[in-house]
Structure 1
Amino acid sequence: MAGDTHNQAGSLREAVIEAIKLGEGAFGKREIARALKLKGTDAKRDLKDALAALEADGAIKRTASKTYALAGALPSVTVVEITDRDNDGELLAEPVRPDRDAPPIRLAPGEGAGGKGEPALGIGDKALVRLTPDNEGGYEARLIKRLGQSAHKLLCVLRKPKSGPMRLLPVDRRSRHELVPARGEAEKANDGDLVLCQLVKERRHGLKTAQIVEVVGDAGAPGAGSLIALYSHGVPQGFSEAEQREADTVKPATMAGREDIRNLPLITIDPEDARDHDDAVWAAPDADPKNAGGWQVIVAIADVAAYVTPGGALDRGAFKRGNSVYLPDRVVPMLPERLSNDLCSLRENEERPCLAVRMTFDKHGNKRAHRFLRGWMKSAAKLAYQEAQDAIDGKGGEKAGPLLEDVLKPLWGAYFSVREARQRREPLEIDAPERRVRIGPDGKVAGVETRERFDAHKLIEEFMIQANVCAAESLEDKRTPLIYRVHEEPSKEKIDNLAGFLPTVGLKWTRGERVVTGRFNTLLAQAKSSEHYETINEVVLRSQSQAVYDTENQGHFGLNLDRYAHFTSPIRRYADLTVHRALIRALNLGPDGQTDEERSRLTVIAEEITHSERRAMAAERDAVDRFIALYLADKVGGEFDGRITGVTRFGAFVRLSETGADGLVPISRLGEERFEHDEAAHALVGLQTGSRYRLGMPVTVRIEEAQPVTGGLLLDILTPAEKGPVPKGRRRQHGGPPGGRRSGRPWKQGRKGKRK
């Protein structure tokens, strides 16, 4: 009898799995019961038990919309967002609704490449695709529909030559097709203007026709790089009349109901050019004799929730933008200036409302306790990172010098203690220098420099991390829903790619080895003294997952933390504002906390602000590319040192050492012999001689073209290819120098080998 019951349960589970496959992720319990024609209390109880068992076994999972899906499976038709390219240049995608177990998705070769006046799909774009499983545990996607394509707009440069037809040239380097302005449209703009266009007529042959819907500005103006980036990625700009009116009429917060901490010398430490200051810090030795050598630390954050109320115009606008966007010559703020640079900015010697956390650490940096408070503070000083560091290093300073003993030394003492705990925790230590495009008074690029990183930067960073952890812990303790900052460990596919690459530089990663941050750090330490250090840093960085916002906690792999939420930057990140409101409600810190309506929308908010963040990152990256291309435009023909950072079937990408700019060396320009992409060797290999250009190889290049409008750089490699074994079935032939210009009739590059 028991065996019959077991068999019946097994049969029901199999039937449930088939029903879930049928539902393609859209079936909840009711739909599954209907599909299986289950009726009656007993049958529904059996279904409930079967679902619970399958979920416990990891065979199925529950989605954010309370439906069921197979673990690791996706609907055959789904909406995806383009997130990256692989080494072959093919587009990679992820489901728009976060699916933690989703295997890799690649668009089939040629899918989304554009044509007939349509732009190519690019990173950040969304599309409806049909998925079919591939042979490697992932999916191949075929494009069904570009979402919003009917209203798709292209940013172009209008060209009016003295002779010949007028043209609209797309600024996106992925769009290979020019457009023709419709009759009378060219009169709306001048030659060289940036214009927003929309297709108006389908033509079977020839170029597509477009109308000009907006004149953006002069493509040759100094700030054109930023304008192009903002418009290309659809970054919202400006504020509505309702937002501006709400900002102009909002009443300053009062001290009522707040804890007075004006007697504590909290200070802000920010970049020299910072205009908004949303975090301040203070530290002192802990007076508790039971915590000898310990520290008290306060991180105070601008109380944006006191001014931006849920559902108001400011709130709706901030959600739409998601975050501030930082470009070389401007900032596109999330909030109007009266808030971001005034009422919500912790200005020097001005009283401000804040939401603060007071943390207690022992002498080894372990957090013993924390408490959130809604405070009333007065910043004792506004320091730049360099000023604070100089004072600690004994270089004094008119402003920072007087703060050394009572303010700065306690901060550094607490930091050194917390740093000890950080070292034990072993977060991921990737060396990724940040480059800054320096803009001159004329709006043009004055230079490109690497930002120096001091202990002052690390101090602020670590205190902010600790405050973010406290926020997540307090909300979990109060069982309050929140938006986490989630960073999952690298996927198996990325680890396999890393393990396959490392032997080419004399290192190894044992497959099946546990994936932990300390293992990556050991790898980076092994590479430290070698010529491959920059390459290993780059490859390790590429192997990591992208961080996202989510209501389900998956931990933060990079920081090696079990729980983490963004709390410290509500002026510029909407995620932090939601966490502030959640804390205010959970800890009874005021009437302006998280509402039931906001709580019910947290999953949607998390998805949207993840998209907004990626949109901002893409715009920031594109703007930097365009400004650097502008900087290098008058250096065409010049020779620069660089390093190969990517090899694909169509060429090599080289990063210039001086500026950090990335340029393309087409495979047809590599030499007089035929080169093909060897995926396993991460190299472009000459088929006759075996000479190769490999990932990480230092090279000298000449700039052939620099296009400020597209941000594209076209390079020639001057360094001869490295010698290598002659490919099997070939014999070494003597031709021109390996680094010479390819001559003769161009050949078609074919795809070789299995795609990983």
Structure 2
Amino acid sequence: MKRQRPATFQMPDSLPTGTSPARTGGLPEREQLRAFIENAPGRIGKREISREFGLGPEHRQALRAMLREMALDGTLAPAGARRFRVSDRLPESAVVQVTGTDADGDPIARPVQWDGDGPSPTVFMHPELRGRAALAPGERVVARLRRVGPGRYEGRTLRRLTDAPVQIVGLFRALGDTDPAAAAPARFRPAGRLTPADRRARAEWVIPMGEDDDAPDNEIVIAIPLPQSGPGLHPARIIQRLGPQGDARTISMVAVAMHGIPHVFGQEALAQARAARGVSPDGRTDLRDVPLVTIDGADARDFDDAIYAEPDGDGFRITVAIADVAWYVRPGSALDREARLRGNSVYFPDRVIPMLPEELSNGWCSLRPGEDRGCIFVDMHVAADGAVSGARFGRGIMRSAARLTYEQVQAARDGAPDTTMLSLPDGLLDSLFGAWECLSRARARRGTLDLDMPERQVHLDDAGLIESIHPRIRLDSHRLVEEFMIAANVAAARFLEGRHVPCLYRIHAPPTPERLESLRRTLDMMGISLPPVGGLRAADLDRVLREVSSSDQAPLVNELVLRAQNQAEYSPDPIGHFGLSLPAYAHFTSPIRRYADLLTHRALLVAAKLESGSAPDHTELETTGQAITQTERRAAQAERETLERYAATWLQARVGTVMDAHISGLSRFGIFTVLDATGTSALLPMSALPEDQWHHDEKTQTLSARDATMVFRPGQALRVRIEEACAIRGTVLLALPDTLPPRRRRRP
């Protein structure tokens, strides 16, 4: 089940824009040239390009040909005589991905690659030729494009790129007596309709008679498109039934199916996992007398790290021991291929989709109390000011002294230890918290970004029904483990750098100036000041978070700062970690559930001469880093969407209930809110506001009535009524408590 450990800083959504390339003395690559033209100030021509890249007369003809080609395919656009800029138009043909359907059921797509300013253009795809299956959400095609307006294109399919039939996950509703289609002759009467789980798909699908796989009404299913033979809704065939909508345990499988998350292990990998046995102490450092303890969430099953601390001079000596997954998962093996394919474990309220089979993840690789386990450990000295020195890595055998929970440790820290805590050696808890306080001083001195984004926790009863949804409280015990893990990760990165062994770093680029400026303007409207963008550091953002930590603005400000960040990723190039204010950082502490950590273990074993072999080269690491970055984002999106569906399911039974909320954003079509009780995002549409002329001012971030008697602002508290909740899509619509239900109800 899901661990309660806060991630060692994971940032959201976007990749950094290109930076100005270094002078090469040769003709640049197309992407280098595009990035330079996009980021350089002023108008750019061949003279500026030649100066930047050190080009001579011998490159003139080739450069002219490259610029002409990039202008023809839409990458560049003219900006005056012999001047260029990055085009905001799409080329005549491009790869697009279907994201949903319009009200008529025709596909809507977006370009797969879009580097222009603002949101990517919308492509309205023409229906497929008669006899061909309709395009479904997620499918990619090469399309011929025609611009029909700003940010709007028409598209016609030239070639479909999807190898297998695209699947549609949704809710099947059997044909009812009141459905107009029930009056059709028997041979034309459908079995029912399918409402897609993807909220971007506006149209339903029709399930013809005989294509329903005997699915009952209100069943969540997987379907594939069928060829279209006439007008009307697109037809589809049900190929798998996931379970009834009312069963909360079915909800997570919707995300698994929609995102194509691998969840069945191959027989060869399972056989390797079942053949695993315990490690021998030969050739390993014996740590079985060291009282290492694991600290995890109450529902955790995979214990991949254990910690210990004792006084050492003016500071502490700490040991972090990590499960020796590399001993069992050998490079190139079936287990290794499966682990790389998954990239990471995926955690849902009712289940875990593990990266490794349970025989390893919950068995031989899990640091269970009282059982001998192989480990890779690091010993470090932590000075009183938090400086870490003398890091030593080794391969050991350990025996966990206790399996502790965050709540147990916190209760003991607060003076209420239970019998398990009392059985530990005297002074161990004080040493752990003492070392944490030292590490925290170094963190404060660095000026890191400490976002407080409460994680929602869903509690299910034995029948699979939702008992409650509430934010998970972050304790000092969480912070203690997090600081120990950060110290170990930093030590791993420094150790590998010092021995010039390549590895995958966890990198987090600084926010772009545009995002920071937008954040600064928004905070200024809320009476919160930020330094000028040019010299802004993580410490400046953290100062703002501390200033508002005890105010009603705290949730919104944390969310705004989070949105301004670039997304962390994996790369063999150590560009640093902005959020943690670290020059080099590598994931090392969770190899059971992250493939990146397993790669770090392998590199450490080679660097420490504990195993023979060579480390992967830069190109191989770069490819792997890109792959597992995508699997990590896929998992995060699947977990987020699943929580939204759980919340909508819980709120379906509470339609009409009035709840507290706060505004998280404003737009011309409604007010985005977060329900305080569950942390659920919900929309208060314009149709639910009192009849008036409403004005949305982007500059002041307000939505106001014509006479300004009612004004809405970000962070403002609201009382709202649950008007509608769609469990399959995870959407919630709200109304104000003192307004009548809208005359025309909108589907969420």
Which residue of structure 2 lines up, in the alignment, with residue 522 of structure 1? 543
TM-score, normalised with respect to structure 2: 0.80
Q: How many pairs were matched up?
A: 654
Which residue of structure 1 lines up, in the alignment, with residue 624 of structure 2? 605
Letter in 2 for 1:158: F
Kindly, what percent of the aligned residue pairs are identical? 37
Query: Is the Cα contact below 8 Å between 1:179 and 1:208 reproduced in 2?
Result: yes
Mark the CA change 1:114 to 1:120 in structure 2 (over 3 Å): closer, same or farther.
farther
**Which of 174, 194, 215 is equivalent to 2:241?**
215
What root-mean-square deviation, in Å, do the aligned CA atoms of Structure 1 and Structure 2 show?
3.7
Q: 1:612 Cα shift?
A: 0.5
Which residue of structure 1 lines up, in the alignment, with residue 17 of structure 2? none
CA deviation vs aligned residue, 1:467-512 (integer Å, no higher than 9, x gap): 0011111111111111111111111221121122123212233544
Query: Is the Cα contact below 8 Å between 1:363 and 1:417 reproduced in 2?
Result: yes
Q: 1:109 Cα shift?
A: 4.6
Letter in 1 for 2:553: H
**Which of 292, 295, 300 is equivalent to 1:269?**
295
**Which of 223, 227, 232 is equivalent to 1:197?**
223
* Pair 1:228 & 2:254 matched: yes
Letter in 1 for 2:170: C
Q: 2-side partners of 1:129 and 1:15: how far apart? A: 34
* Pair 1:345 & 2:369 matched: no
Q: 1-side partners of 2:212 and 2:346: how far apart? A: 32
Query: Is the Cα contact below 8 Å between 1:269 and 1:280 reproduced in 2?
Result: yes
CA deviation vs aligned residue, 1:682-728 (integer Å, no higher than 9, x gap): 23333465743222211111011122222111111237xxxxxxxxx
* Pair 1:650 & 2:669 matched: yes
CA deviation vs aligned residue, 1:29-54 (integer Å, no higher than 9, x gap): xxxxxxx9xxxxxxxx9979999xxx
* Pair 1:16 & 2:27 matched: yes
Letter in 2 for 1:313: A
Q: 1:119 Cα shift?
A: 5.1
Letter in 2 for 1:657: D
Q: 1:181 Cα shift?
A: 1.8
Q: 1-side partners of 2:624 and 2:145: how far apart? A: 26
Q: 1:448 Cα shift?
A: 1.4
Q: 1:441 Cα shift?
A: 1.6
* Pair 1:362 & 2:416 matched: no
1:230 alignment partner, SS class: helix
Which residue of structure 2 lines up, in the alignment, with residue 184 of structure 1? 210
Which residue of structure 1 lines up, in the alignment, with residue 121 of structure 2? 108
Q: 2-side partners of 1:92 and 1:718: how far apart? A: 38
Which residue of structure 2 lines up, in the alignment, with residue 424 of structure 1? 445
Query: Is the Cα contact below 8 Å between 1:646 and 1:695 reproduced in 2?
Result: yes
Query: Is the Cα contact below 8 Å between 2:122 and 2:153 reproduced in 1?
Result: no
Mark the CA change 1:401 to 1:340 in structure 2 (over 3 Å): closer, same or farther.
same
Q: 1:392 Cα shift?
A: 2.4
Q: 2-side partners of 1:646 and 1:335: how far apart? A: 40
* Pair 1:663 & 2:676 matched: no
Q: 1:142 Cα shift?
A: 9.0
Q: 1:581 Cα shift?
A: 0.7
Which residue of structure 1 lines up, in the alignment, with residue 275 of structure 2? 249
* Pair 1:709 & 2:709 matched: no
Which residue of structure 2 lines up, in the alignment, with residue 455 of structure 1? 476
Mark the CA change 1:263 to 1:94 in structure 2 (over 3 Å): closer, same or farther.
farther
Query: Is the Cα contact below 8 Å between 2:504 and 2:586 reproduced in 1?
Result: yes
Q: 2-side partners of 1:150 and 1:550: how far apart? A: 31
Which residue of structure 2 lines up, in the alignment, with residue 401 of structure 1? 422
* Pair 1:153 & 2:167 matched: yes
CA deviation vs aligned residue, 1:558-594 (integer Å, no higher than 9, x gap): 1111110110000000110111111111211124x66
Which residue of structure 1 lines up, in the alignment, with residue 580 of structure 2? 559
Mark the CA change 1:120 to 1:20 in structure 2 (over 3 Å): closer, same or farther.
closer
**Which of 441, 444, 454 is equivalent to 1:433?**
454
Q: 1-side partners of 2:391 and 2:296: how far apart? A: 24
- 5 Å matches for 1:629-644? 629-644=648-663
**Which of 597, 610, 624 is equivalent to 1:576?**
597
Mark the CA change 1:352 to 1:15 in structure 2 (over 3 Å): closer, same or farther.
closer
Which residue of structure 2 lines up, in the alignment, with residue 505 of structure 1? 526
Query: Is the Cα contact below 8 Å between 2:244 and 2:250 reproduced in 1?
Result: yes
Query: Is the Cα contact below 8 Å between 1:107 and 1:141 reproduced in 2?
Result: no
Query: Is the Cα contact below 8 Å between 2:448 and 2:581 reproduced in 1?
Result: yes
Q: 1-side partners of 2:592 and 2:554: how far apart? A: 37
Q: 2-side partners of 1:385 and 1:603: how far apart? A: 36
Letter in 2 for 1:151: P
CA deviation vs aligned residue, 1:380-423 (integer Å, no higher than 9, x gap): 11111111222222212101013262421211121111111111
Which residue of structure 2 lines up, in the alignment, with residue 284 of structure 1? 310
Mark the CA change 1:449 to 1:690 in structure 2 (over 3 Å): closer, same or farther.
closer
Q: 1:282 Cα shift?
A: 0.8
Q: 1-side partners of 2:656 and 2:663: how far apart? A: 19
* Pair 1:546 & 2:567 matched: yes
2:370 alignment partner, SS class: coil
Letter in 2 for 1:219: Q
Query: Is the Cα contact below 8 Å between 2:689 and 2:735 reproduced in 1?
Result: yes
Q: 1-side partners of 2:109 and 2:664: how far apart? A: 18
Mark the CA change 1:186 to 1:526 in structure 2 (over 3 Å): closer, same or farther.
same
CA deviation vs aligned residue, 1:251-271 (integer Å, no higher than 9, x gap): 432222111111211111111
Letter in 1 for 2:420: K
Query: Is the Cα contact below 8 Å between 1:478 and 1:586 reproduced in 2?
Result: yes
Q: 1-side partners of 2:155 and 2:487: how far apart? A: 44
Mark the CA change 1:197 to 1:50 in structure 2 (over 3 Å): closer, same or farther.
farther
Q: 2-side partners of 1:378 and 1:113: how far apart? A: 63
* Pair 1:319 & 2:340 matched: yes
**Which of 628, 643, 646 is equivalent to 1:627?**
646
Q: Relative contact order: is structure 1 or structure 2 higher (C-alpha 8 Å, sep ≥ 6)?
A: 2
Mark the CA change 1:131 to 1:584 in structure 2 (over 3 Å): closer, same or farther.
farther
Letter in 2 for 1:439: L
Q: 2-side partners of 1:681 and 1:558: how far apart? A: 28
Which residue of structure 1 lines up, in the alignment, with residue 318 of structure 2? 297
Query: Is the Cα contact below 8 Å between 1:112 and 1:120 reproduced in 2?
Result: no
Q: 2-side partners of 1:509 and 1:49: how far apart? A: 48
Mark the CA change 1:595 to 1:533 in structure 2 (over 3 Å): closer, same or farther.
closer
Query: Is the Cα contact below 8 Å between 1:117 and 1:207 reproduced in 2?
Result: no
Mark the CA change 1:693 to 1:330 in structure 2 (over 3 Å): closer, same or farther.
same
Mark the CA change 1:73 to 1:180 in structure 2 (over 3 Å): closer, same or farther.
closer
Letter in 1 for 2:407: Q
Query: Is the Cα contact below 8 Å between 1:356 and 1:372 reproduced in 2?
Result: yes
1:606 alignment partner, SS class: helix
Q: 1-side partners of 2:732 and 2:649: how far apart? A: 10
Mark the CA change 1:21 to 1:295 in structure 2 (over 3 Å): closer, same or farther.
closer
Query: Is the Cα contact below 8 Å between 2:406 and 2:475 reproduced in 1?
Result: yes
2:419 alignment partner, SS class: coil
2:271 alignment partner, SS class: helix
Q: 2-side partners of 1:13 and 1:284: how far apart? A: 53
CA deviation vs aligned residue, 1:436-464 (integer Å, no higher than 9, x gap): 11111211111112222222111110000
Letter in 2 for 1:159: R
**Which of 461, 465, 475 is equivalent to 2:486?**
465
Q: 2-side partners of 1:251 and 1:712: how far apart? A: 47
Q: 2-side partners of 1:473 and 1:128: how far apart? A: 45
2:468 alignment partner, SS class: strand
Q: 2-side partners of 1:492 and 1:81: how far apart? A: 29
CA deviation vs aligned residue, 1:157-184 (integer Å, no higher than 9, x gap): 2221332242122122221111122442
2:653 alignment partner, SS class: helix
Which residue of structure 2 lines up, in the alignment, with residue 238 of structure 1? 264
1:427 alignment partner, SS class: coil
Q: 1-side partners of 2:373 and 2:57: how far apart? A: 55
2:588 alignment partner, SS class: coil
Which residue of structure 1 lines up, in the alignment, with residue 64 of structure 2? none
